[in-house]
Structure 1
Amino acid sequence: MRYRLLALMAGLLFPLAFAPYDLWPMLFVSIAAGFFCQQQAGSAREALLRGWLYGLGMFGFGISWVHVSMHDYGFMPLWMAIPFTAIFAAFLALFYGLSFTLTWRLGRSALVFAGSWLLLDWVRGWFLTGFPWLYAGYGLIDTPLAPLAPIGGVWLLTLAAVLLASTAIQLRQSGPQRWFSLGMSALLLAGTAIAHNLTFTQPNGAMQPVALVQGNIPQDLKWQISMRERTREIYHELTATIPDGHLVIWPESALTDFYQSTPDFVEAEGRALEARGGAFITGVPWRTVDNRGVSYHNSIAAIPLISEDGHERVYHKQKLVPFGEYVPMQSLIRGLIPFFDLPMSGFTPGDPSQANLHTLGHTIAPFICYEILYPEQVATRSHGADALITISNDAWFGTSAGPLQHFQMARMRALETGRWLLRGTNNGVTAVIDEQGKVVDALPQFERDVLLSQYQPRQGTTPFMATGVWPWLLLAVILLVAGSRFRIRE
């Protein structure tokens, strides 16, 4: 029983390594304690239970903020929102139960533990649309291990965290496993030392002025029809204060009306900024009518919409949030509870082949809210882009840890691709992030303001952009095979 309790407590320590706590040493303590509990299990079934308890602690604490959107803005009573969140956490915890029991069956070594952890994290990122949240590597973005990100992304950082932490426990045991684990850990540390001196992207032109508008519209008012005119006034007034020559960015769904219902206002804003030597990019809901019927998109557009060559400069979000932007099996569950009828919860995903946005002579790779969490999508779209832009509306999660965790993960995409990231949000965190994942400028949360800053266009290809996750999945399989060759000698 004490090892089960220890596994749960170890999982509870895991989120402390992430924003807003940023106690990154807790990441290693948590993983090491979890590995120790797995090694003490007397059966594969017991290892499964301990792994599930570890995951339950991790997600029960780490994503407890999910209930905020359900209760505060989805009109779900608290007595229902908390159990829904707990069920979600219990499901996600199964991935760590599988990792623990797989490690127990294949030799209980640090190599197997790290390999199975990485493989199941990857599966968690796409299974049933995926939930790529709280990967261990995110907790290392402000540590000496961070230079591994351009080489292997958050995946290599996750592998490093798990292998280093579990190897520290394995050193207490005899047998060849500990030497293999120690050797791999030494290679990772040597690679990190080398990576500190590597640069994969280069500046592509002068610094560019940018202005990110944070409207801070309260979420409980944002979608009311009576608020539409006031919302336009807020963004127009804030934009009018911006000096000439800036790229101006409004956040996700800055306007809650479809572009097709308000083209005159949006285009007028774009033409006014263009006349002052600037440019305009905004998040806006989109309605398409064709021979297949009517579809709706969560979109980001460069305004004026039509470019000089006659093409629409608009990107439709590809990775939609389940229940937030679309409702699975909606014919069965819509109307059961108000949460399944949130505003704008009937979007259609965009085509993966969409082009990036072009403005002021540069190419910008766009990402909307949740999809900045998908490393491969960002890496793929970053080829040929001078900078990244992500817009979001994290007001759904109030003052919880959710928006700050989201911001931390967005920073990792800048580091992985070696490009500056421009992040515009409704109520924070609005920021400019450099190619090393460092925050250059940021606005405080929950304030109505404009962030005036600059960004450096960059070109080049990082190893992670070139290869994606596949080399690290292959390495994880190799670790599984190598680690299972010899049993631990107690």
Structure 2
Amino acid sequence: MRDRLLALIAGLLFPLAFAPYDLWPLLFVSIGLGYWCQQQASSAREALLRGWLYGLGMFAFGISWVHVSMHDYGFMPLWMAIPFTGLFAAFLALFYGLTFYASWRLGRSALAFAGIWLLLDWLRGVLLTGFPWLYAGYALIDSPFATLAPIGGVWLLTLSAVLISACLIRLTNWRRGGYAGLVASSALLILTAASHTLTFTQPSGSAQKVALVQGNIPQDLKWQLSMRERTQQIYQDLTRDIPADTLVVWPESALTNFYQNVSEFVEQEGQKIAERNGGFITGVPWRTVSNSGVTYHNSIASIPLDPGDGRQRVYHKQKLVPFGEYVPMQSLIRGLIPFFDLPMSGFTPGKSSQPNLTALGHSIAPFICYEILYPELVADRSHDADVLLTISNDAWFGTSAGPLQHFQMARMRALETGRWLLRGTNNGVTAVINEHGKVVDALPQFERDVLLSQYQPRQGTTPFMATGVWPWLLLACLIVWAGWRGRIRTSPNIPL
């Protein structure tokens, strides 16, 4: 019972390494304690339970903010929202139960533990559209390990955190082997030291002025029909005095009406900005009518929409949020509770073949809200991009930790690709991030304002952009095998 409670406490420590707490050394404490609890398990079944308790502590605390959107804006009673969030956390915890179970079955080595952790984290990010949240590597964005990101992305950072944490526990008992894990950890530390001297991208052209408009319209008012004209006026007023030669960005769904219904207003705003030699990009819902019917998209457009140069001017979001932007099995569950009928929850995903946007002569890789959490998607779209752009509306999660965790994860994409990232939001965090993942300028949350800054276009390819996740999945498989073979040689009587 004591070790089970310790596993739960270890999981509760895990989110403290992330924003808004940013106590990143606790990441190693949390994972190390979890690994110690797995080592003490008397059976694979007990290891499974301890791993599930570890994951339950991690997600029950780390994503507790999910209930905010359900209760405050999805009109779900609190007595339902909290259990729904708990069930979601309990499901996600299964991935860590399986990690503890599988690595126990394979001999309990640090190598197997780290490799299986990474493989199941990746699976969590792709299964049923994925929930790529709270990967261990994100907590290291402001640590000395951060320079590993351009080499192997958040995956290499995660693998490093788990392997080093487990090997620190192994140091307490040399007689049980684990030397291969210690060698691998030492190699990672050497690579970390060497990576501080590496640069993979370079400036391309002169700096560009940018204005990120933060409308800060309350979420409970934003989607009301009576707010549509008022919303247009707010953004128009905020944009009026922006200096010339500036790229102006409005956030996700800045206008809560389809482009086709507000095209005159949007194009007029774009024309005013163009007359000052600026560019204009806005988030806006999109309606497409074809022979097969009507489809709706969550989109971002570079205005004017048809400048006559034949270049791409609109991007439709590919990675949709379940229940927020589409409802799985909607014919069965729509209408059961109000949460399944949130505004704009009937979107269709855009095609993966969409090119990047262009504005003021720059190629801009666009990502809408949740999409910035997918490392491979961002890396694939960044090859010809001068800058990354993500727009979001995190007002769904109020004053919780959710928006700050989202912002922290977005910063990792800049570091992985060696490019500046522009982040425009409705109520924060609106910011400009450089190629090192560092915040250059930012607005306070929950204020109506315009962030005037600049970005440096960059070109070049980081190793992570060139390879993606696959080398690290292969490495994870190899170290799982090495850990298993090593334990067989040193402890042939361990039950498998």
Give TM class, smaller chain. over 0.9
Q: Distance in 2 between matches of 1:277 and 1:198?
A: 37
| Structure-2 residue corresponding to 1:368 | 368
Q: Distance in 2 between matches of 1:163 and 1:393?
A: 36
- Is the contact between residue 10 and residue 57 of structure 1 (CA under 8 Å) also seen in structure 2? yes
Q: Structure 1's 176 and 187: CA in aligned 2 closer, same or farther, altered over 3 A?
A: farther
| Structure-1 residue corresponding to 2:209 | 209
- Is the contact between residue 431 and residue 439 of structure 1 (CA under 8 Å) also seen in structure 2? yes
Task: Give the drift of 1:306.
Answer: 1.1
Task: Give the drift of 1:172.
Answer: 1.9
- Is the contact between residue 28 and residue 162 of structure 2 (CA under 8 Å) also seen in structure 1? yes
- The number of aligned residues is 490
Matched, 1:282 2:282: yes
| Structure-1 residue corresponding to 2:400 | 400
- Is the contact between residue 213 and residue 451 of structure 1 (CA under 8 Å) also seen in structure 2? yes
Q: Distance in 2 between matches of 1:34 and 1:287?
A: 49
Q: Distance in 1 between matches of 2:83 and 2:215?
A: 33
Task: Give the drift of 1:179.
Answer: 1.3
- Is the contact between residue 312 and residue 357 of structure 2 (CA under 8 Å) also seen in structure 1? no
Cα shift readout 1:130-162 (whole Å, capped 9, x = no counterpart): 000000000000000000000000000000000
Q: Counterparts of 1:31-430 in structure 2 under 5 Å?
A: 31-175=31-175, 177-430=177-430
Matched, 1:450 2:450: yes
Which segment is superposed worse, 298-307 or 423-432?
298-307
Q: Distance in 2 between matches of 1:438 and 1:86?
A: 34
Q: Distance in 1 between matches of 2:312 and 2:229?
A: 26
Which segment is superposed worse, 170-179 or 135-144?
170-179
TM normalised by structure 1 equals 0.99
Matched, 1:10 2:10: yes
Task: Give the drift of 1:297.
Answer: 0.1
Residue 199 of structure 1 aligns with an amino acid whose one-letter code is T
Q: Distance in 1 between matches of 2:114 and 2:41?
A: 18
Aligned residue for 2:313, secondary structure, equals strand
> Where do 5+ consecutive residues of structure 2 fail to align?
none
- Is the contact between residue 434 and residue 455 of structure 1 (CA under 8 Å) also seen in structure 2? yes
Q: Which runs of 4+ in 1 moved over 4 A?
A: none
Cα shift readout 1:215-247 (whole Å, capped 9, x = no counterpart): 000000000000000000000000002111100
Q: Distance in 2 between matches of 1:313 and 1:174?
A: 60
Q: Distance in 2 between matches of 1:484 and 1:22?
A: 34
Q: Distance in 1 between matches of 2:292 and 2:399?
A: 41
Percent of residue pairs identical: 78
Q: Distance in 2 between matches of 1:174 and 1:199?
A: 38
Aligned residue for 1:247, secondary structure, equals strand
Cα shift readout 1:187-207 (whole Å, capped 9, x = no counterpart): 001101111000000000111
Aligned residue for 1:232, secondary structure, equals helix
Residue 126 of structure 1 aligns with an amino acid whose one-letter code is V
Aligned residue for 1:273, secondary structure, equals helix
Aligned residue for 1:212, secondary structure, equals strand
Aligned residue for 2:21, secondary structure, equals coil
Q: Structure 1's 267 and 288: CA in aligned 2 closer, same or farther, altered over 3 A?
A: same
TM normalised by structure 2 equals 0.98
- Is the contact between residue 177 and residue 483 of structure 1 (CA under 8 Å) also seen in structure 2? no
> Where do 5+ consecutive residues of structure 1 fail to align?
none
Q: Distance in 2 between matches of 1:257 and 1:221?
A: 14
Cα shift readout 1:236-279 (whole Å, capped 9, x = no counterpart): 00000211110000000000000000100000000110110100
Aligned residue for 2:367, secondary structure, equals strand
Over aligned residue pairs, what C-alpha RMSD do you find?
0.9
Q: Distance in 2 between matches of 1:55 and 1:26?
A: 16
